[in-house]
Amino acid sequence: MDDQLHRSLGLTDDELAKIIEILGRDPNHLELAMYSVMWSEHCSYKSSRIHLKRLPTEGKNVLVGPGENAGVIDVGDGIAIALRIESHNHPSYIEPYQGAATGVGGIIRDIFTMGARPIAIMDPLRFGPLEDARSRWVAEGVVSGISGYGNSVGVPNVGGEIVFDETYKGNPLVNVLCVGILPKERLVLGQASGIGNLAVLLGSTTGRDGIGGVSVLASAGFGDEEEDAEKRPSVQVGDPFEEKRLIEACLELLDEGLVVGIQDLGGAGLACAASETASRGGVGMDFNVSAVPQREAGMQPFEIMTSESQERMLAIVEPENLEQVFAICNKWEIRSSVVGKVTPSGALRIVDDFDGEVLGEVPAASLHEDAPLYERPISEPDDMDTAITDQATTLPGPEKIEDDLFDLLMSPQWATSQYDSQLFLNTVVGPGSNAAVLRLKHPTSGEDTGRGMALTTDGNHRWCAINPRIGSAMTVAESVLNLACVGAVPQALVNCLNFGNPENPVVMWQLSEAVDGMAEACNAFDLPVVGGNVSLYNESQGTNIDPTPIVGVIGLINDLSKAPPGLTWDDGDRIILLGPEANGLNGSAWAFMKGHRRGSLDPIDFDLHQRVCALTRDLVTKELVTGLHDISTGGLGVSAAEMAINSGVGCTLARTPDHIAFFSESPSRVILAVNPELLTEVEQLAAEYDVPHERIGLAHGDIFTVKNLLTVPVKDLQEKWDNRLSDALDGGTTQG
């Protein structure tokens, strides 16, 4: 065996020794290739598993938790919801359009693999600074890829985030969340069972695109441009129209009860799908590589098994149902081929014809259950003590506060306008609000339940760069408050943990701290973590990104007879601020804009936050507010400006003495717009919930005024809001 082969495949010497111990012999090239992709960071979570165990994953409504293709929760009326979030960071830097497009395709397959019809996606995106030409090119391609695939496959994009910051220069973050709905009885798991049952490959042909994607791309950082260009063949190529047919074929197969298990083909391709389905079912599988439809001539067995070609599924089918399966696939013009047989051996055997040569044989469970588990060194930053003392409040205040406000305003419209958010006519609140809201309809009858589901994605690298534990907890808290602003009760959370090189002890400290902060917040809010993804090696030229845990949270609205209030106010409304006083500028967008990335964060008061959320939900449910907005990025200044922009109505704000109060992003705060006739009732309710509140202004006219700080026409705010992103991206020019 070539002494260097395992290293070229991304395996260490110690990992090779473990493989030899498992097999009792030297592995061949095919076997090494399968271990390489399955033991990659992306597939095995070998650096993060010991930490992820600390997250709460159980809840009364949880049907399926972490470890399957998607989490599933019971929402009543015989309805279940599947949700998952994934990353496609590295492919999207190398090939922005296809990297982002196949990220959408992959997350959609995760959802319908569970028996759910995908009904919505969200896309939290992070790019380098707008001033950087390469970052703009990546952003254009990513947005185009998301819209090109999502619009074509027919799943609405209902929200997300778009952030530009120096930390993502050379390493963007492209995270995608998908939600699906299913009748509880259609729930199916990705496992093989029944000795003699057949593994049927559904969907597209297998090519060389995406070979080594999880090891070449997802488990390594970026180097120089020449080296990165060589990685392009590892980026998959998507076909949304094939995916649409695949969705319909798979859901019909499940409705007819013709499938006993099903698994999508994403990272690690057939090696992953075959081994995971067998292992989960406690069985083995003989896999016939010669039966796999190939789009390229001369493919080697290791290429067939590790290719990450898109739009493919592996279904476990009883032999007597095979002809019906073929008939349904033919109806939807989907290829279907028997490629495997379930065996009692516990081994994954790769064969050239079922009665032909054995090309490789490994214990199926060893490809993931025996993956190495690393307890990597952890060390907090050397400058932690001095960083804490460097407070952003010591920065000089702006000469013209309106100029800083302008620099913080940016509409996501350039991106969201390229997405179809109204497919199925099911979206009540789309992009640009506190949270997305969809009607909850029965998945088989289509009957409207009168209830709604709310979705939000949130992340804040600024908070987490200063204190990953508190920053992660604040991120979860922000999501819970966003849901409260549309009247929703949170039900479950999924996460995408984007961090740098795990071989760096500081990065591992960041990850460990972030997990603990997220666990603390989820426990406080009784919010189970039902799935997630860990994306490591997010670094460029040896520089790690700021820790960026992204969370997606789903909530339920019991009565959706009326749409929730948005980010608006009416002329004459009183403006109320809920929550505690602002407590500084550390981690704020304003401070980072000034180059200040240090300081400290105060721990979040979970009890107070819960009361603020409960009060906010009650105000929305009782229709006591014209509009409302949580205070987050940009502080009170940006949140109030956005309400003025969305309304076309100005305001006069008082009790905002300086730029600290104006730009602080302290948690647990909400702006309310209240009709004067309802003011007393709102204030009484706030007192009952023991939530601090004060009147801070009046909505009126067409001027945005903050007493003793600034006076700006709303139309000027509107212009900056509308044009900043589109001007930077050449008026919406994208690559195909």
Q: What DSSP string runs through 530-572?
A: EEEEEE---EETTEEPPPEEEEEEEEEES--SSPPP-S---TT
Catalytic residue among 6, 51, 88, 609: 88
Answer yes or no: are the C-beta atoms of 376 and 508 closer than 8 Å.
yes
Which helix or strand (DSSP H or E) is residue 713 part of?
A: strand 710-713
How many Å apart are CA 489 and CA 506, to the nearest integer?
36
Q: What does the pLDDT read at residue 389?
A: 86
Residue 593 forms beta bridges with which residues? none
Alpha carbons within 13 angstroms on the beta-carbon side of residue 544 total: 21
Instruction: Please give the C-alpha separations between residue 572 and each of 380, 473, 567, 641, 651, in angstroms, as whole numbers.
Output: 51, 37, 16, 16, 9
Answer yes or no: are the C-beta atoms of 598 and 478 closer than 8 Å.
no
Residue 653 forms beta bridges with which residues? 697, 706
Does residue 230 have a pLDDT over 70?
A: no
> What are the tokens at 15?
């990992």
For residues 663-685, average pLDDT: 97
32: which DSSP letter?
H
Which helix or strand (DSSP H or E) is residue 732 part of?
A: none
How many Å apart are CA 450 and CA 648, to the nearest integer?
31
294: which DSSP letter?
B
Q: Which of 463, 504, 370 is nearest to 22 (CA)?
A: 370
| pTM confidence score | 0.94
Report the range of poorest mean pLDDT among 96-105, 473-482, 490-499, 546-555: 96-105
Active site residue 90: no
Does residue 147 have a pLDDT over 80?
A: yes
The helix-helix angle for 240-255 and 96-112 (nearest 10°) equals 10
Does residue 735 have a pLDDT over 50?
A: no
Tell me which of 424 and 181 has the higher pLDDT: 181
> What are the tokens at 346?
């516990």
Active site residue 88: yes
> What are the tokens at 473?
């907890």
Confidence of residue 220 (pLDDT cuts 50, 70, 90): low
Q: What does the pLDDT read at residue 224?
A: 53
Q: What does the pLDDT read at residue 238?
A: 82
Q: What does the pLDDT read at residue 232?
A: 45
Instruction: Please give the C-alpha separations between residue 616 and each of 524, 679, 697, in angstroms, as whole numbers.
Output: 18, 14, 19
Confidence of residue 385 (pLDDT cuts 50, 70, 90): confident
Answer yes or no: are the C-beta atoms of 238 and 98 closer than 8 Å.
yes
Cα distance from N-terminal residue to C-terminal residue, the chain: 43
Confidence of residue 268 (pLDDT cuts 50, 70, 90): confident
User: Who contacts 318 (Cβ-Cβ below 8 Å, separation ≥6)?
Assistant: 194, 197, 198, 260
Alpha carbons within 13 angstroms on the beta-carbon side of residue 527 total: 27
Backbone angles phi, psi at 259, to 5 degrees: -125, 130
Which helix or strand (DSSP H or E) is residue 693 part of?
A: strand 693-699
What's the pLDDT tens digit per position in 679-706?
A: 999 999 999 999 999 999 999 999 999 9
Tell me the pLDDT of the chain averaged across its residues: 92
What's the pLDDT tens digit per position in 181-194?
A: 999 999 998 888 89
Instruction: Please give the C-alpha separations between residue 705 and each of 63, 505, 543, 697, 708, in angstroms, as whole numbers.
Output: 51, 48, 42, 10, 9
Catalytic residue among 42, 51, 596, 629: 42
Does residue 217 have a pLDDT over 60?
A: no
Q: What does the pLDDT read at residue 736?
A: 38
What's the pLDDT tens digit per position in 51-87?
A: 999 999 999 999 999 989 999 999 999 999 999 999 9
Confidence of residue 6 (pLDDT cuts 50, 70, 90): confident
Kindly give the residue spans of alpha helices, DSSP state H, lying in 428-544.
461-466, 468-484, 505-524
The position carrying tokens 């008082």 is 654
Could you give the percent of the chain with pLDDT greater than 90?
83
Q: Which of 264, 89, 104, 99 is nearest to 176 (CA)?
A: 104
Report the range of poorest mean pLDDT among 129-143, 372-386, 460-474, 660-674: 372-386
Confidence of residue 616 (pLDDT cuts 50, 70, 90): very high
User: Who contacts 542 (Cβ-Cβ below 8 Å, separation ≥6)?
Assistant: 221
Backbone angles phi, psi at 383, to 5 degrees: -95, 20
Answer yes or no: are the C-beta atoms of 624 and 681 closer than 8 Å.
yes
Concatenate the DSSP letters of all residues of 187-252 into one string: ---S---STT-EEEEEES-B-STTTTIIIIITTS-B--HHHHHTTGGGS----HHHHHHHHHHHHH
